[in-house]
Amino acid sequence: MESQQTLVNATDRMQLGIETSTLEGRNKVLGFWVFLGGECALFASLFAIYLTLHGQTLHGPTAKELFNLPLIGLATLFLLTSSLTGVLGINAMHRGNRRSLLRWLGVTVLLGLAFLAVQVIEFITYAHEGFGFSTSPFSCAFYALVGFHGGHVAFGVMWISTLMLQLKKEGITARKAPKVFIASLYWHFVDVVWVFIFTVVYLMGIMGV
Amino acid sequence: MRLKNRIGLLLLMIMLLFGLTGCQRAEMSVFDPAGPVAKMQLSIIMISIYIMSGIFVVAMGILVYVLIRYRSRRGQNQPPKQVEGSWVLELIWIVIPIILLGILVVPTVTSAFVLDEKPAGPNVLNVKVKASQFWWQFEYPDLGIVTAQELHIPTGTKVNLQLETTDVMHSFWVPRLAGKTDLIPGRTNTMWIQADQPGQFQGKCAEYCGASHGVMDFLVVAEEPQQFQAWVNKMKNQQVKPASELAAEGEKLFAQNCASCHAVAGTNYKGTLGPDLTGFAERSKVAGVLENNEENLRKWIADPAAIKPDSKMPRLPLNEKQISAVTAFLRSLK
Amino acid sequence: MAKPLEEVMRHPVHTVVTPEKRFWLLDYLSTVDHKKIGQMYVLVGVFYLIVGGLQALLMRVQLFSPDNHFVSYQLFNQLFTMHGTNMIFFAAMPLIFGLMNLIVPLQIGARDVAFPFMNAVSLWFTFVGALLVNISWFFGDAPSAGWFAYAPIGLNQFSPGHGMDFFIIGLQIAGFGSLMGAINFIATILNMRAPGMTLLRMPLFTWTSLVASGLILFAFPPLTVGLFLYMFDRLFGSHFFDAAMGGNPVLWAHLFWIFGHPEVYIVVLPAFGMISEVVATFSRKRLFGYTSMVFATVLIGFIGFMVWIHHMFTVGFGAMANSIFAIATMLIGIPTGIKVFNWLFTMWGGQIRFKTPMMFALGFLPTFVLGGITGVMLSAAPADYQYHDSYFVVAHFHYVLIGGVLFGFFAGLYYWFPKVTGRLMHEGLGHLNFWFMFIGFHLTFFPMHLAGLYGMPRRVPTYNAGVGLEIWNQLSTIGAFVMAVSIVLFAVNVAYAFIRGKKAGNDPWDARTLEWTIPSPVPEYNFAQRPLVRGLDPLWMAKEEGKATVPPAEPLGPIHMPSNSYLPLVMAVGLFIAGLAVIYHRLFFTVLGLEILALAMLYHSLNDDEGYHVLPEEQPLAKGEGA
């Protein structure tokens, strides 16, 4: 099986749908879409909690006093771009181009790391401004929602890095392709959640809604 | 065999109907309402019991018929006809339940809105209910009275209750007067009750609230308006005079040991952590659950945790004689 | 999936030989076979059913008379908390997952579930989650805030011990297991059906399992979030639910019931499925109104998410909200009614055989109908102000959960026991088991309706004397012991089946679906040849055509099997260590536990399992044996 696959890779032939070429692959892709359905319910709950508690600032700072929009904008830029590079990676996988795939996944991981770095800076700044995890229900809900998302990004970074190691070793095989594909699905999902966080938490927070 | 089992169920249903006719001594029975709220709720309960009994009888009738008629018998070599379904039949058991539920929806919604009204006006009595682990305080803001464990109300008057809790969730339930409303931290809920006849109505905490949830009882005492007015006047003009030497000594002990938590109108004792004890001797219960007599009061003071575990009231370092003194003082609070 | 033999031969990478036999215990600890996993789920479920049952008996003894001091009030509160938690999370859920594992792949003609490895992970997470909650007794402090653990009674201030922490972390871990299980079954049912089995040819148990898995998928995440926040509040000083610090205790109630109401359907829908199979088989008739049954199942699942407020009618959301949720709740009565009448009309015109599975299905009908109609009664919000949190509610949900789930489960267990073990249980003992359970059940729970209406709140260790409550409580206590006898009879029957039970053969019940086309017990690869499905009830179709079995859809060939692995167990142990450590704020052990989990995941990801192949000559069926 593997030897065949490498042969195919060498010819750089189009491999559209390689991720669903085996039953195992189809199961993975379907199962992962299902999982993302559950993730939607998870984040929906976190958003609901945030919207319920974001007015309860007690003596701590409010959203308006706190948020630094240019910094968040930078983070948003990193993450949105990484979604694009993720797509380019999958595109390369479909072309059977391992080197290009690895390159784009690498860029995606770096952008994810950049996003995380900005988020760490953001959180440290907030902590210095007296906005810790347990300052107020608002801060709890904020860190729960944004922190859960950040945790997802961190997990994605580790996941894609592990996949890169495997791809380096074994190439694009019918076994690896679905793993790469679902990792990219995951990455897009995390990205979409961020769009909602950016809107609901940051933009609405700045506008004092 | 199935038949026996049907008969057993029927018997139980008859027992239920027996219960409905009120043969029991039912001081807390939902079937024995004493005010408009509980009556309204009982009428919905009865409507739903009738509708649902009809459905139950029909379904079980079919079941019994089918079990007798379509038992497998000897000599049935051919399997039965395989039927896919019947749209007509299936439509019937979609439409009929919709109609029946429609009948139930009407009183449900109308009563929900009636019960949700906040009565106002000069004839309405306002009471603030404050629940704590494991006792109830009743404050009459317009009358300037605070009492505990026993809620006095005049008959024929709507009583507007404002419900708050100082610690965990509780729920205010007087089965004969009204269903429950929860008391929730950070929230003020309201409900209204009315008693049409004088009497004592048992109340229970109905939301699990800790070790002594099961004994977090209270009473609603409904009196004719004149008697209620008399009670109000008495509560407002309290003069505490210990009736005996023992009671006088008890008052001293009370001041040292109890007054930081308990208040008594007409004295300097203004504690608010525990129940207000104004007019304590007139109450019918000690701690809301025990009959109010000397023995029970001694028992309670000697070891509150034996009656209400996790109660905030500590076991005070009093000897037998001192307990007698405090008891005498409390029993003089008329 | 089987590969053509030539391809297998061309690629010697694949082991063609069955791996050496392991000692049975080690085999079970490392298995990824859905049948063995299913058996272990059932064992876990039955174990906690017994634990929860004993806790219930202790409570019933306490409530035999008012002012009883058989147990202390605090212990009583721990008992009802653990009883509810065990029965819902660690008895009902594992039993449902157990039967899904045992039967669903067989019913759809699959060789395994979509993710065999993850299936084992689900099992072991459920196992350690249950263990973590229950060992709280041995750490001196079982939780006592009730199974829905309302805030603030479950927060540090009012539950200072570690019991609640065990509860939160244990449920969280078991919840992850359930979530993975649900994903697994959705993928399995959608992707791995035998050729020709369209969605509307799936047996009803498979359909209900699919819908229940969908409910788990959307219902468990809110609980996951809620439990995380609860954990933050208790262990890391946040204020999500603490009203004194601006938090909102009702938020937890919402999250819990958004999970909690669908949870009822999660456990009861598969039971409906089992009843549908049993009623059709023992009436020897096709399920009446199959399409509307499927439709009703989906509808129940859908509306199930829009009714959670009916658990909170007394919270004071106002007449408008209560009315809307009252009507939504009543609507659920309609698809449920469709199901009941379809079962009745399946039997109409049939040839009903009163075997033990059918007895439980017949016992289910009146019991569940009573639970259903009290459900509609409860939905009328103003009346619910009276019923709410009283023994009426206790009676109602036991009618649904025992009358619905447990009777359904026993019907399913008696029905499929021969398929799983190859042995038949004793019919006479089975009938005795049924009658003790049926009579004991109604004796226990029917009086509770009346106790509730006579003013008895739930979760009380004592009740007012002299107001007509004694008789109902005494009947309940007696009934509880009758039910206990029925469980003992069940255990005796299982033992009998293993020692002297008759051999079952492929199809002991003259049944209709695919699982009865293969030997009992089922070989590890399930189907030597995957069957070709041409309609609902494929086995029955074949019988009507005078054929012995369903035609195959593929030639004989080597069958690919996944290898055993200890990693799922290792992952669960890692999570268990981390969970226990976080309760006691031991950072080192928390990290260590999570590290074990992460490394096991990494190892699994980096080392692809090549599996092995079972060759045709190793398949007894292929050689004409066991047919």
**Whose CA is closest to C357, among C271, C456, C462, C230?**
C271
Give the integer Cα–Cα distance in Å for A188 and A166: 21
CA dist B68 → B17, B33, C283 (Å): 28, 43, 13
Cis peptide before B134 (omega within 30 of 0): yes
pLDDT in the model for residue B10:
57
- Cβ burial of B236 (10 Å; 0-12, 13-18, 19+) is middle
The enclosing domain of B153 has a CATH number of: 2.60.40.420
The enclosing domain of C404 has a CATH number of: 1.20.210.10
C261–B contact, CB cutoff 8 A: no
Cis peptide before B122 (omega within 30 of 0): no
All partners of chain B with 3 or more CB pairs under 8 angstroms: C
User: What residues of chain C, 153 to 192, have a C-beta less than 8 Å from chain B?
Assistant: 153, 158
Start-to-end CA span in chain C (Å) = 23
Handedness of CA B24, B25, B28, B32 (dihedral sign): positive
Nearest to C292 among B66, B85, B205 (CB): B85
The enclosing domain of A178 has a CATH number of: 1.20.120.80
| Sequence-ordered list of residues with C-beta below 8 angstroms from that of B318, at least 6 positions apart, any chain | B253, B257, B301, B302, B326
Mean pLDDT, residues B245-256:
92
CA dist C241 → A53, C166, C173, C245 (Å): 10, 18, 21, 9
Q: Are both B199 and B164 inside the same structural domain?
A: yes
Give the integer Cα–Cα distance in Å for C416 and C418: 5
Contact C239 A22 (CB under 8 A): no
Beta carbons within 10 angstroms of residue B106's beta carbon: 11
Nearest-by-CA chain B residue for C279: B67
Mean pLDDT, residues B224-241:
92
According to DSSP, residue B150 is labeled: E
Contacts of C554 in chain A (CB under 8 A): none
User: Residue A126 belongs to what domain range?
Assistant: 23-54+73-206
Q: What percent of chain C has pLDDT over 90?
A: 89
Give the integer Cα–Cα distance in Å for A178 and A22: 9
Mean pLDDT, residues C112-141:
95
- The pair of three-digit structure tokens given for residue B313, joined into one six-digit string: 């009231």
In a domain, B75, yes or no: no
pLDDT in the model for residue B77:
84
C77–B contact, CB cutoff 8 A: yes
Mean residue pLDDT of chain C comes to 93
pLDDT in the model for residue C9:
43
Mean pLDDT, residues C238-254:
93
Mean pLDDT, residues C324-332:
95
User: Residue B215 belongs to what domain range?
Assistant: 125-235
Q: pLDDT of C276-295, one tens digit each? A: 999 999 999 999 999 999 99
Contacts of C13 in chain A (CB under 8 A): 1-2
Contact B112 C459 (CB under 8 A): no
User: What is the ipTM score, two decimals?
Assistant: 0.92
Beta carbons within 10 angstroms of residue C434's beta carbon: 25
Contact B208 C153 (CB under 8 A): yes
Contacts of C337 in chain B (CB under 8 A): 55, 93-94, 97
A6–C contact, CB cutoff 8 A: no
All partners of chain C with 3 or more CB pairs under 8 angstroms: A, B
Nearest-by-CA chain A residue for C180: A35
Contacts of C225 in chain A (CB under 8 A): 42, 45-46, 49
Nearest C-alpha of chain C: how many angstroms from B313? 16
In this predicted structure, the answer to whether residue C466 has a pLDDT above a threshold of 70 is yes
Give the integer Cα–Cα distance in Å for B332 and B325: 11
pLDDT in the model for residue C17:
53
Q: Are both B95 and B173 inside the same structural domain?
A: no
Q: Are both B296 and B316 inside the same structural domain?
A: yes
Beta carbons within 10 angstroms of residue C67's beta carbon: 11
User: What residues of chain C, 108 to 147, have a C-beta less than 8 Å from chain B?
Assistant: 144-146
Contact A140 C114 (CB under 8 A): no
**Whose CA is closest to C328, among C308, C351, C313, C354?**
C308
pLDDT in the model for residue C7:
47
Q: Are both B171 and B264 inside the same structural domain?
A: no
Contact A46 C225 (CB under 8 A): yes
In a domain, B76, yes or no: no
Chain C residues within 8 Å of chain A (Cβ atoms): 1, 11, 13, 114-115, 179, 182-184, 186-188, 190-192, 217-222, 224-226, 228-229, 232, 236-240, 245-248, 251, 255, 258, 602, 605-606, 608
pLDDT in the model for residue C188:
97
Gyration radius of chain C's alpha carbons: 25
Give the integer Cα–Cα distance in Å for C230 and C223: 10
Last residue of some domain: B235, B254, B269?
B235
Contacts of A22 in chain C (CB under 8 A): 1
Number of domain units in chain B: 3
User: What residues of chain C, 263 to 292, have a C-beta less than 8 Å from chain B?
Assistant: 283-286, 288-292
According to DSSP, residue B134 is labeled: T
In this predicted structure, the answer to whether residue C503 has a pLDDT above a threshold of 90 is yes
Which H or E run includes B161?
strand B159-165
Nearest C-alpha of chain A: how many angstroms from C137? 31
Mean pLDDT, residues C302-318:
95
Nearest-by-CA chain C residue for A144: C229
Contact C222 A41 (CB under 8 A): yes
Query: What φ, ψ does residue C379 adopt, rounded to 5°?
Result: -70, -20
Contact B180 C314 (CB under 8 A): yes
Query: At A104, which amino acid appears?
Result: W
Contact C246 A56 (CB under 8 A): yes
A182–C contact, CB cutoff 8 A: no
The enclosing domain of B11 has a CATH number of: 1.10.287
In a domain, A171, yes or no: yes
In this predicted structure, the answer to whether residue C539 has a pLDDT above a threshold of 90 is yes
Contacts of B16 in chain C (CB under 8 A): 449-450
Q: Under DSSP, is residue A42 helix (H, G, I), strand (E, B) or coil? A: helix
Q: pLDDT of C50-80, one tens digit each? A: 999 999 999 999 999 999 999 999 999 999 9
Q: Are both B225 and B277 inside the same structural domain?
A: no
Q: How would you classify the pairing of strands B150-154 and B217-223?
A: parallel
Measured torsion, CA atoms of residues C43, C47, C48, C49, in degrees rounded to the nearest 10: 100
Q: pLDDT of C341-395, one tens digit each? A: 999 999 999 999 999 999 999 999 999 999 999 999 999 999 999 999 999 999 9
Q: pLDDT of B267-322, one tens digit each? A: 889 999 999 999 999 999 999 999 999 999 999 999 999 999 999 999 999 999 99
Tokens 């007054």 correspond to what residue? B259
In this predicted structure, the answer to whether residue C326 has a pLDDT above a threshold of 80 is yes
**Given phi > 0 = left and psi -120 to 50 = alpha, else beta, which region is C624?**
left
Contact C608 A22 (CB under 8 A): no
| Sequence-ordered list of residues with C-beta below 8 angstroms from that of C596, at least 6 positions apart, any chain | C570, C571, C573, C574, C577
Contacts of C224 in chain A (CB under 8 A): 42
Give the integer Cα–Cα distance in Å for C564 and C571: 15
Mean pLDDT, residues B76-100:
91
Give the integer Cα–Cα distance in Å for C297 and C265: 10
Nearest-by-CA chain B residue for C346: B83
Angle at C46 between CA C332 and CA C567, to 5 degrees: 100
Number of domain units in chain C: 1
pLDDT in the model for residue B241:
82
User: Residue C188 belongs to what domain range?
Assistant: 30-521
Number of domain units in chain A: 1
Number of H helices and E strands in chain A, helices first, is: 8, 0
Contact B41 C382 (CB under 8 A): yes
Nearest-by-CA chain B residue for C463: B214
Q: What percent of chain B has pLDDT over 90?
A: 81
Using 50 as the pLDDT threshold, list the residues of chain A that sit under it. Answer: 1-12
Confidence of residue C323 (pLDDT cuts 50, 70, 90): very high
**Whose CA is closest to C129, among C571, C557, C522?**
C571
In a domain, B79, yes or no: no
In sequence order, the β-bridge partners of residue C423 are C503
Give the integer Cα–Cα distance in Å for C493 and C475: 27
Nearest C-alpha of chain A: how many angstroms from C315? 17
pLDDT in the model for residue A21:
85
User: What residues of chain A, 117 to 146, have a C-beta less than 8 Å from chain C?
Assistant: 133-134, 136-137, 140-141, 144
